[in-house]
C-alpha cells in the first residue's frame, strides 16, 4: 500500500515538474515582456507629447490602441502639472514675483479638452505624468495567485509610469 502511495506522489511530482513549472515560467516571462513593452509605449507617448508641446487626439488614441494591442486591458491616468508663472498677481501677494507654483489637471479634464478642442496644449515647464495599470488578470497573475494564495502572498499587476518635463 505504501509503495502505491509513493508511486502516485512521484507521478504527481513529475507532472508538476514537467508541465506546471514550465507553463508558469512561460506565463511569468510573458508578463515581464508585456511590462517592458508597456513601459516603452508609455515613454514614447510622453516623449512625443513633450516634443510636440501638446496632447493631441490622435496621439492619445494611438497610445490606447497600442496598449490594447498587447492583449490586455488597461486603465490610463494622465496628470499635467501646469506651471503658474506668477501666483502673486492673482492673490493677496501682489508683490511676490518669480515664484513658480504648479496646479494639476487630471485625466477627465484632459480628455474633455482633447475631445472638444482636438488637443491639450502644454507650455514650457509643465510636467506630464502618465500611469498605466492593467485591469484584466493575466495567465501569469492567475497562476501566481493560485500558488501564492496557498502561502498568503499577493501579486502585482502590469503597471508603468512615465514623467517628463515639457521643454518646448
Q: What per-residue confidence (pLDDT) applies to 10? A: 85
Distance CA 74, CA 32 (A): 16
Helix (H, G, I), strand (E, B) or coil at 129: strand
* Residue 119 dihedral angles phi and psi, to the nearest 5°: -160, 160
Tell me the per-residue pLDDT of 3-32, one tens digit each, with 9 for 90 and over.
888 888 888 888 777 777 787 888 888 889
Q: Quick: pLDDT tens for 45-82.
A: 999 999 999 999 999 999 999 999 998 999 999 999 99
List the beta bridge partners of residue 75.
133
**Which residues, in sequence order, are CB contacts of 86 under 8 Å at separation 6+?**
96, 97, 98, 99
pLDDT of residue 101: 83
Each residue's pLDDT tens digit, 30-39: 889 999 999 9
> Among residues 35, 34, 160, 57, which one has the least CA distance to residue 116?
57
Amino acid at each position: 500500500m505504501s509503495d502505491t502511495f509513493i508511486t502516485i506522489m512521484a507521478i504527481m511530482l513529475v507532472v508538476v515538474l514537467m508541465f506546471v513549472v514550465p507553463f508558469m515560467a512561460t506565463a511569468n516571462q510573458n508578463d515581464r515582456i508585456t511590462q517592458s513593452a508597456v513601459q516603452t509605449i508609455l515613454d514614447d507617448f510622453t516623449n512625443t507629447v513633450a516634443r510636440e508641446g501638446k496632447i493631441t487626439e490622435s496621439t492619445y488614441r494611438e497610445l490606447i490602441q497600442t496598449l490594447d494591442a498587447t492583449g490586455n486591458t488597461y486603465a490610463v491616468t494622465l496628470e499635467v502639472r501646469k506651471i503658474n508663472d506668477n501666483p502673486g498677481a492673482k492673490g493677496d501677494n501682489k508683490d511676490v514675483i518669480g515664484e513658480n507654483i504648479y496646479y494639476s489637471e487630471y485625466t477627465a479634464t484632459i480628455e474633455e479638452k482633447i475631445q472638444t478642442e482636438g488637443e491639450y496644449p502644454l507650455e514650457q515647464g509643465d510636467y506630464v505624468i502618465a500611469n498605466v495599470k492593467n485591469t484584466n488578470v493575466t495567465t501569469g497573475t492567475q497562476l501566481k495567485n493560485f500558488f501564492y494564495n496557498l502561502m498568503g502572498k499577493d501579486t502585482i499587476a502590469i503597471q508603468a509610469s512615465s514623467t517628463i518635463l515639457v521643454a518646448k
